[in-house]
Structure 1
């Protein structure tokens, strides 16, 4: 065999092997096809504890184009809740059945500024509930120093709650190594309030009460608990 042909043959073998490995390791089994169907609209109660859906207000203002949202997510639920003191909290849940690259969740710290909001703080926190702790991010944002909107959010991949970033990628890879494609969800609450400490306290109380009101079969996929 001519020496000049050896590198070409080796390269061809390596390329073929790499393609074979990539094919084997490409996840093909969607966990959404294995688990019971998750119906977000039905799973989130219209009232719980001291909170009820406020029918007097319009829908939640979502800082993303509806066109893009429909491309990214298979289900979107947006509601405004109010308690007996008249405090309002906006809830937005966006769910995607396929969390492979190209179908990733869009985070508030990205989509809010894209619509003109300024995010002035972005911190990780742990939200304590009677059923366990949820890792969250808390953002302070405002629109033209007029609409002040503190935000609490987290994401779930499968049944694990995360704050996105590297941790989310690791969990997705763990599913991928098993040949599975995870679903994903972004859970966000916010309120119009200049006092962020008051807003975050109300949001924590709202979430803690909601967590206990969820059915046990859907709770892990929405909250990771």
Structure 2
């Protein structure tokens, strides 16, 4: 005779199998309409102009973690056209597949791994036309010789998660819909004197200008479809 406990255990096992099948992605979602992201990123952003430099080239080592995580990385230095103010470092990392094994790495984990201490961190919103802000994170990373202010955001499918927990939830929601989504991390940073004021507003203004300077049809790869459409209408 089958005991009730065995039925419960068996039922739980079948439920787990069913859930696993339901979470098995059946299609991909990519908001990158072009073959490459790099050509879509403008060299003129507001009052900043991209410098012709190889300083921020990110090498792709076959088989490395970065090579597996990201399909493409765009790195560039932008300088104020009037030479008034610091240069801004832009890094955009795009991954065609976001899963439990392959997912965007946030600066909160990357910078400490490189020996930086995180001294300040808070949430912020980047203002876009049509009153549809982008949820972003501002933080300061320091070493004994370097102080770097950073503003960044991430997109996973149509979600813009601000924390690792939100990122896991976004991945779960897309999986429930049978989707493997793409993802992007957009990060701007600059160096400043340790005793000087934080430059988060400068970085936020640069990133806002970056999105506005992109072709309207391609902004979705950075901010998602709905924000891009409302921005276009606005």
Using structure 2 for the length normalisation, give the TM-score: 0.81
Give the match's secondary structure for 1:149: strand
- CA shift in 2, pair 1:50/1:181, >3 Å: same
**Structure 2 regions of 5+ residues with no counterpart?**
228-234
Q: CA deviation at 1:7?
A: 5.5
Structure 1: which 5+ runs fail to align? none
Identify the residue that residue 141 of structure 1 maps to in structure 2. Answer: 141
The yes-or-no answer on 1:77 pairing with 2:50 is no
Secondary structure at 2:127's aligned position in 1?
Answer: strand
Match of 2:156 in 1: 157
- Could you say what the CA RMSD is over the residues aligned between the two structures, in angstroms? 2.6
Please tell me whether residue 94 in structure 1 is matched to residue 93 in structure 2: yes
CA separation of 1:57 and 1:88: change in aligned 2, threshold 3 A: farther
Q: Deviations over 1:151-208 (max 9, x none)?
A: 00010112332313232233222222211111111110000112343x2222122112
Give the number of equivalent residue pairs.
217
1:1-225 maps to which residues of 2 (within 5 A)?
2=1, 11-12=9-10, 14-32=12-30, 36-37=33-34, 39-56=36-53, 58-59=55-56, 67-86=64-83, 87-131=86-130, 132-144=132-144, 146-194=145-193, 195-197=196-198, 199-224=199-224, 225=227
Quote how far apart the aligned CAs of 1:15 are: 2.4
Give, in whole Å, the separation in 2 of the partners of 1:182 and 1:126: 24
Give the 3-state SS of the residue equivalent to 1:103 in structure 2: coil
| Partners of 1:130 and 1:208 within 8 A in 2 | no
Deviation of the 1:3 alpha carbon: 5.1
Q: Distance in 2 between matches of 1:102 and 1:166?
A: 15
What is the TM-score normalised by the length of structure 1? Answer: 0.84
